[in-house]
Amino acid sequence: MVDVIELDAGQYPPDDETCYIVTRDPTGRFYVTESGVGFVKSEQASFYPVSEQERRSTIDRATKYAGQHGVHAVYVVS
């Protein structure tokens, strides 16, 4: 079972946990990254309109990856 954890503004995923992270790039598009790759939140992305369909699709993709690789958490960064 994979937990999807929605983080509020100013919250970040833990540094010491293997997880997938759903966040936005500087153009506002959602993408999935791994905890070991490094995570840099783009403040610029928050100025772009949010597509709920793209967001949901990215969360679903991250959840699927997590399940396939035995990772128990997906963090969604606002």
Percent over 90 (pLDDT), the chain: 41
**Is the per-residue pLDDT at 40 higher than 80?**
no
Q: pLDDT tens digits, residue range 9-35?
A: 788 888 888 999 998 877 777 888 887
Contact call for residues 19 and 73 (beta carbons, < 8 A): yes
pTM for this model (two decimals): 0.82
Contact call for residues 44 and 68 (beta carbons, < 8 A): no
Rg (CA), the chain: 12
Cα diameter, the chain: 34
Euclidean distance between CA atoms 5 and 77, whole angstroms: 9
The pLDDT value given to residue 28? 75
Which of 52, 24, 28, 51 has its CA nearest to residue 40? Answer: 24
**Is the per-residue pLDDT at 58 higher than 60?**
yes
